[in-house]
Amino acid sequence: MISLDFISFQQHKDLSKYEDKKEKIKDLLTNSHEMLDWYDIDKCITEEEIIKIETLSETIRKECDVFLVIGIGGSFLGAKAVIEALGTYFTSNKPEIIFAGNNLSEEYLNKLLDYIRDKNVVLNVISKSGDTLETKIAFNILYKFIKSKYNQEEIKKRIIVTTDATNGSLRWFANENNLVSLNIPKQIGGRFSVLTTVGLLPIAVAGYNIRKLLSGARKNNYDSAFKYACVRDYLYNHGKVVESFTYYEPKLSSFSEWLKQLFGESQGKNKKGILPISCFNTQDLHSLGQFYQDGNPIIFETIIGLKQKGILPSSINNYMVSDINSLAVEKVAQAHLLAGIDSNIIYLDSLNEENLGELIYFFELAAAIGGYLLDVNPFDQPGVNEYKRLLNEALK
Contacts with ligand PA5 by CB under 6 A lie at: 72-75, 127-129, 132, 135, 189-191, 265, 381, 384
Nearer to ligand PA5, 330 or 380 (CB): 380
For the bound state, the minimum distance from the C-beta of residue 195 to ligand PA5, rounded and expressed in Å, comes to: 14
Distances (CA, A) of 2 to 159, 176, 207, 249, 312: 37, 45, 23, 16, 24
For the bound state, the minimum distance from the C-beta of residue 276 to ligand PA5, rounded and expressed in Å, comes to: 14
Nearer to ligand PA5, 57 or 135 (CB): 135
For the bound state, the minimum distance from the C-beta of residue 388 to ligand PA5, rounded and expressed in Å, comes to: 8
Q: Considering all CA atoms of the chain, what is the largest pairwise distance in Å, rounded to the nearest integer?
A: 67
Nearer to ligand PA5, 161 or 332 (CB): 161
Measured CA to CA, the distance from residue 136 to residue 101 in angstroms comes to 8
Chain residue whose CB lies nearest ligand PA5: 190
For the bound state, the minimum distance from the C-beta of residue 44 to ligand PA5, rounded and expressed in Å, comes to: 15
Nearer to ligand PA5, 125 or 346 (CB): 125
Q: Known catalytic residue: 388?
A: yes
CB 222 within 8 A of CB 363: no
Q: Which residue in 62, 271, 286, 396 is the catalytic one?
A: 286
For the bound state, the minimum distance from the C-beta of residue 61 to ligand PA5, rounded and expressed in Å, comes to: 25
Nearer to ligand PA5, 162 or 344 (CB): 162
Measured CA to CA, the distance from residue 145 to residue 289 in angstroms comes to 46
For the bound state, the minimum distance from the C-beta of residue 381 to ligand PA5, rounded and expressed in Å, comes to: 5
Contacts of 259 (CB under 8 A, 6+ apart): 245, 276, 278, 363
Best CA proximity match to 323, nearest among 346, 304, 303, 307: 307
For the bound state, the minimum distance from the C-beta of residue 376 to ligand PA5, rounded and expressed in Å, comes to: 14
Q: Which residue in 257, 265, 354, 358 is the catalytic one?
A: 265
Nearer to ligand PA5, 132 or 254 (CB): 132
Nearer to ligand PA5, 100 or 285 (CB): 100
Q: Known catalytic residue: 286?
A: yes
Q: Which residue in 136, 149, 157, 388 is the catalytic one?
A: 388
How do strand 343-348 and strand 299-306 relate by DSSP bridges? Answer: parallel
Q: Which residues are part of the catalytic machinery? A: 265, 286, 388
